[in-house]
Structure 1
Amino acid sequence: MISATVETPNLDLFQVNQQLENAEASSVVEWSAETFSNGLIMSTSFGIQAAVMLHLVTRIMPNIPVIWVDTGYLPVETYKFAEQLTQRLELNLKVYQSPISPARMEATHGKLWEQNDVAAFDLYDRIRKVEPMQRALQELNAIAWLAGLRKNQTEHRQGLTRVEQQDGLYKIYPILDWNARDIYRYLTSHDLPYHPYFDRGYVSVGDWHSSRPVSADDDNERDTRFRGLKQECGLHLPQTAGEAQSLDSSSL
């Protein structure tokens, strides 16, 4: 079911971030629900610590649309973990995929993840992740997006504030200042599971071909993704005009 169009509020982000600077994560979610109502969505990757945000948010907004971009290249364990959490938390899950099948993409562009090239990774991300996410946001009439980004994950995320505006959409990060200990405490106190790959040494997991266990040489958890060549998959970066145009599936 597609939500009715909600008018986007004109927020003073400086004032809002001052107001929420020391707020508990649950209070940030409550503020988001009050401010954006049914124009609010959240995303999940069903990654290592996905249960934290899913539980935190759905305790306050049980029926919030949860967008999951399925690339078609996720590990078997991720699909099983997704099923487990969806049933346990009774998620209002919205699954989106690229209109270009994995087989067609490989026939047209080759196995982009094997090219050891940032441009190839970027094209992969636009096809398999960014286009489906942008389509989801449009179809669900989203005006605000809750995401589980944390400052200690990447250089880009270190500069984020609790509430941002990106490409006309408000983005809210309730656990932005959390560390690994905070994550562990929340999971254990609510008896929530980690992704099965955590026991294999993974601190972050995405597609099977572009994730690996953490090593002593890694500066942060995102170094274990994309062969260490890039830290962001594009979902949480502003789009240039050219990138936005390239999301037209006919041009991919």
Structure 2
Amino acid sequence: MSAAEQKLTDAEIIATELGAKKAGERIKWLYETYGDRVMASTSFGLQAAVMLHLISENAPKMPVAFVDTGYLFPETYKYIETLMERFDIDLRVYNPKMTAARQEALYGKLWEQGEEGNQKYGIINKVEPMDRAIKDIGADIWLSGLRRAQSSTRQDRPFAEQQNKTIKAYPILDWADAQVNVYYHMHELPKHPLEAEGYVTMGDWHSTVPATEGMSAEETRYGGQKYECGLHLDNGSSDYQI
């Protein structure tokens, strides 16, 4: 059996195991079973406190990677400080190799340059730093807080899948919005300050807007042209094998 086939089998095994467990049990089982092969990521978005709380309760030694694009809302940076005072987690912060100022001086505002500009923006600010995080941490199983209820692009996701060289696992994949809200209430978790201003998703300030009447969550990102930033799609690049 080839390495690729073995990894695919691993993803199928993990997906089956996670499907039979609750969220906290999923995270605990993954870390106890695979140890240093496992890491998580956080964007400090609207539901970030749920995954961070679950990790702190069930696998506090698990590395958690955070990619700071340099373009987050000021409220997000303040929210990060609030959550880090609350949770005892091993947070690892990764930044793009190019500062925001340097990028704009050389390339202009990439997010205003159509699909090609947005793709370049994503590789520089998100994909490459996360790829670097995975290599630095040495993990090949990556936990993410994706949920099927978040968008149409996520409705058919399995609990674990192969993405290039990495297995992606989703401990709260089957949680509905109501379950997330109940969890926040039960554990008295602080909410992102921009949620009260009508934001239903969270990303960089230039690509995220609050929802108005009749807008779907997907329409609040990237002018409604897409929802995924690139981290949770197989981008097909041999340079960024996340």
TM-score of the superposed pair, with normalisation by structure 1:
0.88
Q: CA deviation at 1:97?
A: 0.7
Match of residue 3 from structure 2: none
Q: Write the letter of the residue equivalent to 1:44.
A: T
Deviating above 3 A after TM superposition, structure 1's stretches of 4 or more consecutive aligned residues are 8-16
SS in 1 for 2:238: helix
Cα 1:40–1:204 shift into 2, 3 Å: same
Q: CA deviation at 1:120?
A: 1.3
RMSD: 1.8
Match of residue 225 from structure 2: 229
Identity %: 43
Q: CA deviation at 1:89?
A: 0.2
Match of residue 114 from structure 1: 112
Q: CA deviation at 1:90?
A: 2.1
Q: CA deviation at 1:169?
A: 1.2
Cα 1:16–1:145 shift into 2, 3 Å: closer
Aligned equivalent of 2:80, options 78, 82, 93? 82
Q: CA deviation at 1:9?
A: 7.0
Gaps of 5+ in 1: 1-7
Contact map agreement 1:129 1:235 (CA 8 A) in 2: yes
Match of residue 4 from structure 1: none
Aligned equivalent of 1:193, options 190, 193, 203? 190
Q: Write the letter of the residue equivalent to 2:64.
A: V
Contact map agreement 1:118 1:230 (CA 8 A) in 2: no
Q: CA deviation at 1:148?
A: 0.2
Aligned equivalent of 1:164, options 161, 166, 170? 161
Q: CA deviation at 1:217?
A: 2.8
Aligned equivalent of 2:206, options 206, 209, 226? 209
Which deviations, in whole Å up to 9, do the C-alpha atoms of 1:130-156 show, x marking residues without a partner? 100000000110121110001122222
Cα 1:68–1:13 shift into 2, 3 Å: closer
**Between Structure 1 and Structure 2, how many residues are aligned?**
236
Q: CA deviation at 1:104?
A: 1.2
Contact map agreement 1:63 1:92 (CA 8 A) in 2: yes
Gaps of 5+ in 2: 1-5
Contact map agreement 1:118 1:229 (CA 8 A) in 2: no
